[in-house]
Structure 1
Amino acid sequence: MALFGDAPFATPKPERLVKRVLEIASDPGDLVLDSFAGSGTTGAVAHKMGRRWIMVEHGAHCHSHIVPRMRRVVDGSDAGGVSGELCWQGGGGFQLFELGPSLLEKDAHGRHVVSSRLASAELVEAVCRQFGFTPEPQGRDPWRHGSSSERQFIHVAPRMLFREDLLPLSEALDPDATLLVACLAHDTDAGNFPNLDIRKIPRDLPDAIDWAKDDYSLALALT
């Protein structure tokens, strides 16, 4: 109540209650997940108790309440809740990530297709990341949308590609370089281009996802 003035939430949780739960269910350094962050109490208390934390919230109060609250926790100006008994004086930091639009959607027949809501640049970046490549701004090589090493690159084309599209891509590569080509479809034998790895989107995307990976290098919105 004191933190936000008039109560913006019907059932705000007292920090002392959350502290007791975290004492029972976690140890310092553990990762605490709150999928419905509300006013951010779980993250605030976890931070003060030396736990790592992830909060998820889609409401506007993410920016109006949670972010300002966590800034006060970090800079030590949040003297309420359990700050006194924990002798909390600030420290640490946090990052805010914004979830982008879905890469896929279902058509009238229930089949997954590339989302029509994605802008071209968003689609290219999303496909690059799903296949494990780091997106790159287009420079002298307009075909090069990303890389995973000095010799492995990706080109994303949200359309059908023909031999006349693939041939210049193959010829543009250095002898020891390879190019993953992600396209909606193609009309040629991929074996004709040994330096190209041709994948169809969205068909081949699920196989490219590493479900055990814990860092997808999300676009940073705020520190």
Structure 2
Amino acid sequence: MPIDKLESEKIERKKPIGSFYDLAGSFGNCRHEGGVEFRSGKKPEALIEMIIRYFSNKTDWVLDSFLGSGSTTATAHKMQRRWIGIEMGDHAYTLCKTRMDNVINGDETGISQKVGWQGGGGYHFYELAPSLLVKNDKLPVYQINPTYTFEMLCEAICKIEGFKYRPQDVFHGHSSEKRFIHVTTEFVNAEYIRSLSQHLDEGQSLLIYATKIQSDMMLPDNIEVKKIPKDLLDKCNFESEVR
């Protein structure tokens, strides 16, 4: 895309002499930007602003999968871009979250004066859940993570199978108005199946996940039964795990 079409508003762009940008001062003064410090790893908002300005439009998505101190998302937010930041460890809270809270509250450092930033906006903060399946301490098999509650198990299975987690009646989620899912740690036999089927209307179908299942059951065409954790393993690729 031509540079002159990256922004809808008129912007003067000056080419540096010999393709050189002097950001030494910005690097020297960025230590306190955003109200957080990240020794020997922080980038100035002036540098990020230049990159975002040349390679995106307002409302475009900006991704930083190694967020560090949050310089990229802070700058993107001030420049009216949407953004995703990913980080591990405590500084996801002490640096990244703290910085974005400061930005929303009207942070005056970095590029704030240049872009007229006065605060505003918001964001969603998500935490990665622990692994659903973990190796058994004594046997060479996988098992449900013992830290999972039953509700967490149901929500995880719904996510894996493409269902929307929404407990209602005997069902734990749905993928459409006619497709439902039920999760249980009880023993599922023919009588259990018949009891669940009474809650289905004509044309509706059901996926059941259970830890204990009667063998050789004759199932109706609209009901499928899968075993926990065996059938969950088929949905996951554990060969790529870092060992």
8 Å CA contact 1:37, 1:57 repeated in 2: yes
Distance 2:66 2:180 in 1: 39
2:171 partner SS: coil
Q: 1:37 aligns with which of 67, 77, 82?
A: 67
2:154 match:
124
- Whether 2:208 is the aligned partner of 1:181: answer yes
Q: Is the 8 A contact 1:190 1:198 kept in 2?
A: no
Q: Would the alpha carbon gap of residues 136 and 45 (structure 1) be closer, same or farther in structure 2, given more than 3 Å must change? A: same
Residue matched to 1:199: 226
1:5 CA displacement: 6.3
Do the aligned residues in 1 keep the contact of 2:37 with 2:95 (CA within 8 Å)?
no
Residue deviations 1:136-182 (CA, integer Å, cap 9, x gap): 245xx3x2112233332210124653323323222332333322101
Give per-residue Cα distances to partners, 1:8-50, cap 9 Å, x unaligned. 53322211122233345x3123322222222211100111223
2:179 aligned with 1:156, yes or no? Answer: no
**Residue 105 of structure 1 contacts residue 114 of structure 1 at CA under 8 Å; is this kept in 2?**
yes
Aligned counterpart, 1:219 = none
Correspondence for 1:80: 109
**Structure with larger RCO (C-alpha < 8 A, sep 6+):** 1
Q: Report the residue type matching 1:145 in the other structure.
A: H
Distance in 2 (CA, whole Å) between partners of 1:59 and 1:207 is: 30
Shift of 1:199: 2.4
Asked if 2 retains the 8 angstrom alpha-carbon contact of 1:32 and 1:53, the reply is yes
Amino acid at match of 1:175: E
In the alignment, residue 165 of structure 1 is paired with which amino acid?
Y
Task: Kindly indicate whether residue 197 of structure 2 is the aligned counterpart of residue 170 of structure 1.
Answer: yes
Counterparts of 2:34 and 2:48 in 1: how far apart (Å)? 18
The CA distance in 2 between the partners of 1:194 and 1:50, in whole Å, is 52
Structure 2 residue 40 is matched with structure 1 residue 10: yes
- The 3 A distance-change label for structure 1 pair 197 and 5 is closer
Task: Give the gaps of 5 or more residues in structure 2.
Answer: 1-30, 237-243
1:56 pairs with one of 86, 92, 105: 86
Tell me, in whole angstroms, the C-alpha distance in 1 between the residues paired with 2:231 and 2:85: 31
RMSD: 2.8
Contact conserved, 1:190 with 1:197, CA < 8 A, in 2? no
The share of aligned pairs that are identical, in percent, is 39
Q: TM-score, normalised by structure 1?
A: 0.75
Deviation at 1:201, TM superposition (A): 3.5
2:122 maps to which residue? 93
CA distance in 2, matches of 1:9, 1:110: 43
Cα distance 1:30–1:203, how it changes in 2: closer, same or farther (>3 A)?
farther
Is 1:103 the counterpart of 2:147 in the alignment? no
- CA deviation after TM superposition for structure 1 residue 129, in Å: 2.0
